[in-house]
């Protein structure tokens, strides 16, 4: 019994460590911390990450910004989704693009377009 509990704890720790992978890509100069817009989308995969289901276009999310940052990571909500969805070989990760605010109307239009694409 103790051996089974130990194995389960080790599996949980390894699973948490693997799911905390974060990749950061900076295009141009990193956006300053003042007055930035974060655009977020979720990338879905089947067969445990081998085949993408949807296409998250970070260039479109940046909306022609010269300087932006792309962060791809498994957030806590993604981890909880993956616990359930991995049973049927589906998993997800979050893609976050941070850029300078270019204009309120343009940023709102981009966000609406991304939300509609998700549906």
59 part of a folded domain: yes
- SS3 of 3-63: the string is HHHHHHHHHHHHHHHHCCCEEEEEECCCCCCCCEEEEEEEEEEECCCCEECCCCCHHHHHC
* 7 within some domain: no
Local confidence band at 107 (pLDDT 50, 70, 90 cut-offs): low
Residues 55-70: pLDDT tens digits? 998 888 888 788 889 9
Asked if residue 16 is part of any domain, the answer here is: no
pLDDT in tens, 36-53: 888 899 999 998 888 999
Residue 65 structural domain: 22-118
Kindly state whether residue 2 falls inside one of the protein's structural domains: no
Share of the chain above pLDDT 70, in %: 78
Number of structural domains found in the chain: 1
User: 117 versus 21: which is more confidently predicted?
Assistant: 21
């Amino acid at each position: 019994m103790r051996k089974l509990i130990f194995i389960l704890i080790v599996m949980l720790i390894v699973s948490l460590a693997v799911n905390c992978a974060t990749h950061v890509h900076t295009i141009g100069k990193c956006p300053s911390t003042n007055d930035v817009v974060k655009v977020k989308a979720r990338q879905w995969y089947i067969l445990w990450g081998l085949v993408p289901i949807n296409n998250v276009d970070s260039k479109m999310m940046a909306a022609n910004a010269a300087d932006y940052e792309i962060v791809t990571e498994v957030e806590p909500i993604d981890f909880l989704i993956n616990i359930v969805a991995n049973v049927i070989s589906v998993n997800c990760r979050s893609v976050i693009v941070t850029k300078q605010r270019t204009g309120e109307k343009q940023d709102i239009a981009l966000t609406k377009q991304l939300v509609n694409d998700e549906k």
